[in-house]
Amino acid sequence: MSNLIQFVASGLALGTIYAMIALGFVVIYRASQVFNFAQGDLVTVGAFVMVVLGGILPWPVAVLGTMLATGLLAAVVERLVLRPLVGRSVVITIILTIFVGLILRVMVMVVFGPEQRGMPTPWERSAAVSVAGARIFVSSIAAVLAGALALGAFTWLIRRSRIGVAMRATSSDQEAALCLGIPVGRIFGFTWFLAGAFAALAGVFLGMFPRTVDTNLGFVALKAFPVVIVGGLDSAAGVVIAGLILGVVEVLTQGYVNPHLGQFGQNFHEVLPYLIMIAFLTVRPYGIAGRAEVERV
């Protein structure tokens, strides 16, 4: 029983991180139909920026500063690389974002060096509270709380704020939005800012789980693809739910299924999200909450 609680808790924390990365994909895709493969490297950038800022600023300020800095970097990438290509084929933008990701990774290596770093935390690294006999890491609780907070802010922004309405108008009908004087280009930039900020937040907490930060951190974003597909490429609520489910399933598999598979089971939990994704692609390719739409590519 205590094992189960422990697994579910760290699964939820992992799921929150997946959800934040996936949310970045969705925000960008909904506004501009661009599939951003550089999302994972924004996570890496965020983690490294936090390592530096965390050393000189109080923790909460450092987190906000990291989100701001990474968001601005993402917005600059959009302005320089993707804005000139608005309206061009999907394939071109996909290849470009892959390339942008590569450049970001190399930049991180050049700026911060190739060594592994420790992620600063305001609490003891392995601090935990016990709930019904289970040890739950403070980092896990913090990840879930921060994720919930960010998600709440995001929901308010999208539903109520002036720029949120403009964002949804743009994703609904770009030309009509232009006709009302909504600066669609700037809206695209803002979606990249949001995606960058979410990626940074994910990076901050992801860095606490392996407890080191290196340039391969961004590969976790590959796990966000199953989340995006299962949740639905155009549904923010869908990817949050899918992120939490896949996070919990992954940790539970690691705890309960892997030991029974012998040699084969060593990393079975790493593969499972992709198996689920393949199942979804065959049965329900638009995901839990996505819109069923046929698109020729």
Partner 1 sequence: MLEISNLEVVYDDVVVVLRGISLQVPDGKIVALLGPNGAGKTTTVRAICGLLDLHDAEATKGAITFDGADLLTLRPEEVVAQGVVQVMEGRRIFIDLTVEENLRAGAHTRRDEARQQEIDALMERFPVLGERRHQLAGYLSGGEQQMLAIGRALLVKPSLLILDEPSLGLAPRIVGEVAQVIREVKERGVSVLLIEQNAALALELADYGYVMENGKIVLDGDPTELADNQDFQEFYLGIGAEGRRSYADVKLYRRKKRWLS
User: Which tokens sit at 52?
Assistant: 């530096």
Q: Which of residues 119-138 bind partner 1 (CB under 8 A)?
A: none
User: Which tokens sit at 253?
Assistant: 């598999």
SS3 88: coil
Identify residue 80 by its one-letter amino acid code: L
- Give the x-and-dash track for 145-184 against partner 1 (CB under 8 A): -----------------x--xx-xx--xx-xxxxxxxxxx
The least distance separating partner 1 from the CB of residue 86, rounded to whole angstroms, comes to 9
Q: Which residues contact 194 (CB under 8 A, 6 or more apart)?
A: 24, 27, 71, 154
Between 177 and 276, name the residue whose CB sits nearer to partner 1. Answer: 177
Between 181 and 262, name the residue whose CB sits nearer to partner 1. Answer: 181
Question: Which residue in 201, 194, 193, 191 sits closest to 147, CA to CA?
Answer: 201
Q: Which of residues 226-285 bind partner 1 (CB under 8 A)?
A: none
The least distance separating partner 1 from the CB of residue 87, rounded to whole angstroms, comes to 7
> What's the CA gap between 148 and 162, in Å, rounded?
22
- Give the x-and-dash track for 73-112 against partner 1 (CB under 8 A): --------------x-------------------------
Between 125 and 159, name the residue whose CB sits nearer to partner 1. Answer: 159
Between 153 and 173, name the residue whose CB sits nearer to partner 1. Answer: 173
The torsion angles phi and psi of 128, rounded to 5 degrees, stand at -145, 155
Between 90 and 102, name the residue whose CB sits nearer to partner 1. Answer: 90
Contact 167, 190 (CB under 8 A): yes
Q: Which of residues 31-70 bind partner 1 (CB under 8 A)?
A: none
Instruction: Report the 10 Å Cβ neighbour count for 279.
Output: 11
Question: Which residue in 104, 47, 48 sits closest to 76, CA to CA?
Answer: 104
The least distance separating partner 1 from the CB of residue 158, rounded to whole angstroms, comes to 11
DSSP H or E stretch at residue 75: helix 59-77
Q: Tell me if 292 contacts partner 1 by CB under 8 A.
A: no
Kindly provide the residue ranges of all beta strands, DSSP E only, lying in the chain, ordered along the sequence: 128-131, 134-137
Q: Which of residues 208-227 bind partner 1 (CB under 8 A)?
A: none
Q: Which residues bind partner 1 (CB under 8 A)?
A: 87, 162, 165-166, 168-169, 172-173, 175-184
